[in-house]
Amino acid sequence: MKSLVILISGRGSNMRALLEARLPVRVAAVISNNPEAAGLEIAKMYDVETGIVDHRTYPDRAAFDIALARKIDFYRPSLVALAGFMRMLGDGFVNRYKGKIMNVHPSLLPSFPGLGTHERALEEGVRIHGCTVHFVTPRMDHGPIIVQAAVRVLPDDTNETLAARVLQQEHRIYPEAVHLFMEGRLKLSGSHVEVSNFISDNLVLYSPELHK
């Protein structure tokens, strides 16, 4: 059975979505750079092994990256999933896992990379917002897109209400993307991702609320 390592920094809600999806994979470990991450206790509830690589104990990012890679490689995962992992990773680390490391981002990339996505979406007055699962590359939040889900931006939305609806879609599409990877149905072709045996109902391309 293929294996998965999940990296977190905080509450681990996307990690929990992956665990609750009961994917046909072995979750080998949940690793955090934050010893106080609430998600570590959640992982233990699911009998998943946990590990800590505290970035504050390393002199620089390169040293942290080496230690984190060593921890990950111990489990020999088929895929590494970033689930609210809030540390920048160096080019060497990212290239080490090229094509085998995913992230979920709370915007419809390439729009609004980085932080504060919901606030920026509201400030720009966009009509549609959402989330993206993508392969990680050295360029932050610009890796090949696997799947996206969209939500309508409502006139009375706040950062909190918009974020909550987008998070629901993150929990929906991240397990689907991981499932497709583990089934060998994702193929990187340059900057694009090809999905074999594509059936539209199996991928959340748009939230159903857009079709009401």
Backbone dihedral angles phi then psi of residue 91, each to the nearest 5 degrees:
-60, -40
Q: How confident is the model at residue 1 (pLDDT cuts 50, 70, 90)?
A: confident
Beta strand 101-105 pairing with 3-8: unpaired
Of 53-57, 81-85, 167-171, 205-209, the one with minimum mean pLDDT is 205-209
pLDDT at 208 over 90: no
Residues facing residue 134 across a β-bridge? 103, 145
pLDDT at 205 over 90: no
Q: What's the pLDDT at 199? A: 55
Taking only the tens place, the pLDDT of each residue in 50-102 is 999 999 999 999 999 999 999 999 999 999 999 999 999 999 999 999 999 99
| Mean pLDDT on 113-142 | 95
pTM value surpassing 0.85: yes
pLDDT at 46 over 90: yes
Q: Is the dihedral of CA 140, 157, 18, 41 positive or negative?
A: positive
Beta strand 26-32 pairing with 50-52: parallel
pLDDT at 123 over 90: yes
The answer to whether the beta carbons of residues 127 and 152 sit under 8 Å apart is yes
- Domain 1-97 has what CATH class? alpha beta
Q: How confident is the model at residue 189 (pLDDT cuts 50, 70, 90)?
A: confident
| Mean pLDDT on 175-189 | 93
pLDDT at 130 over 60: yes
Beta strand 3-8 pairing with 26-32: parallel
Q: How confident is the model at residue 196 (pLDDT cuts 50, 70, 90)?
A: confident
* Residue from 50, 117, 120, 62 nearest 87 by CA: 62
Residues facing residue 102 across a β-bridge? 81, 135
Q: What's the pLDDT at 77? A: 98
| Mean pLDDT on 198-207 | 51
Taking only the tens place, the pLDDT of each residue in 3-36 is 999 999 999 999 999 999 999 999 999 999 999 9
Sketch the domain layout of the chain as residue ranges: 1-97, 103-212
CATH topology of domain 103-212: Rossmann fold (3.40.50)
Q: Quick one: how far is CA 8 from the chain centroid?
A: 10
Q: Annotated active-site positions, please?
A: 105
- Percent of the chain past pLDDT 90, that is, above it, reads 88
103-212 and 1-97 share a CATH fold = yes
Q: What's the pLDDT at 209? A: 54
Q: What's the pLDDT at 212? A: 47
